[in-house]
Amino acid sequence: MPERLTYAKGIYDEKEMNAVRRSLESGWLSGGVETHSFEREFADWWGVKHALTVNSGSSADMVALQSLNLPRGSEIITNAGAAFPTTVSAMTYLGLEPVFVDIKGLCIDPKEVKKAISSDTKAIMFAHTLGFMPDMNEIMQIANENDLKVVEDCCDCTGSKQDGKMAGTFGNIATVSFYPAHHMTTGEGGMVITDDSKLHREAYSVRGWGRDCVCGDMPSCRDRFANPPFDHRYYFTRLGGNFQITEMQAAFGREQLKRLDGFIELRKRNYKILADELGEPHDPEVSPFAYPLFSKTKIDDMRKLNKAGIDTRTMFGGNIVRHPAFREIGRVVGDLTQSDRMLNDGYFVGVGPHLTEDNMLYIAEQIKCLR
């Protein structure tokens, strides 16, 4: 048996370490040159106008959703299958009502979205699961016809495209995670991305305690004392929190960003090896987080793979509404058959850039032994 083949592993070296040392030596530990540079560079890489660093992908969901300024009680349509709990938690924390619909394949089903719309529906928020995307033209047509906002959770799908268009650029605002398992890492951290300058301003304020000042890297606010008795730097016009990352994380992330294209290509290579060996199709536009598998003997299969030194994970929440924390939350539309299949049968193995071609061939061979 080879060394344990983890599904995820942060890859970094002296470049990232030196960047962290550089930030420490600057004496400025939060919200400085490294953070602003990282945001600009990441926005350029993604092809959007604005990128805003936050301290996790979960915080990114919260900040992005709050930036929409939806009335309390508004309904947000979301996927029940392969859902991550903090996406739904962000809705409930903000006084919004999740509406759970079924999935098609790995992602939210546009036809189920259409069925779920009510007079209270204001937005659709969903994840691009494992790097895969629903039919975004259909999603956006539904959204536009019903005046709905769209929030894309891109934590799994950095670099994925559909018809040449980058994930996260279809809707109004999107979120990214830099947890070590994802396409690049800052240890913990995330990003909110958008082309909408108004939403960016709202998100910026929410990230920074809810203060009105969004001067960013300017040395001081303009007209700080024009509204006495307030100092504009501490004038609060929204509810917010401190969701910032550190300068050290931003410096680390700037170096990771230089590796990102290479990381994505290795993920695609590893996925293709598995797909070819297992006789399954693959989409070259998908930037995969992991390789999905379905089996009626899921738990036994996972145990066998783990015994063979191969890490496995279940498909996040499976069907999130079956978990105790979410049973009494929101509205459910349909019977969620595919989401239950995700819960009962779905799991995944890794395709991360730390895995070699020989590793992938070994993983494929062990999966074949289960069939």
Are 139 and 117 spatial neighbours (Cβ–Cβ below 8 Å)?
A: no
Catalytic residue among 50, 128, 182, 200: 182
Distance in angstroms (rounded) separating the CA atoms of residues 346 and 106 = 10
**Angle of the 14-26 helix axis to the 33-46 helix axis, nearest 10:** 140
Q: Which residues of 122-151 are buried (b: 16+ CB within 10 A; e: fewer)?
A: bbbbbbbbbbbbbebeebbebbeeeebbbb
**Cβ contact 296:110 at 8 Å:** no
Angle between helices 57-67 and 197-207 (to 10 degrees): 120
Task: In the chain, count H helices and then E strands.
Answer: 11, 15
Q: Give yes or no for a contact between 61 and 75, defined as CB atoms under 8 angstroms apart.
A: no
Phi/psi of residue 216, each to 5°?
65, -125
Q: Residue 36 catalytic?
A: no
- CA triplet 137, 199, 227: central angle to 5 degrees? 165
Taking a C-beta distance cutoff of 8 angstroms, is the pair 137, 103 a contact?
no
Do residues 10 and 180 lie in contact, with contact meaning Cβ atoms separated by under 8 Å? yes
Q: Take residue 94 and report the two structure tokens written for it.
A: 């903000």
Catalytic (active-site) positions: 182
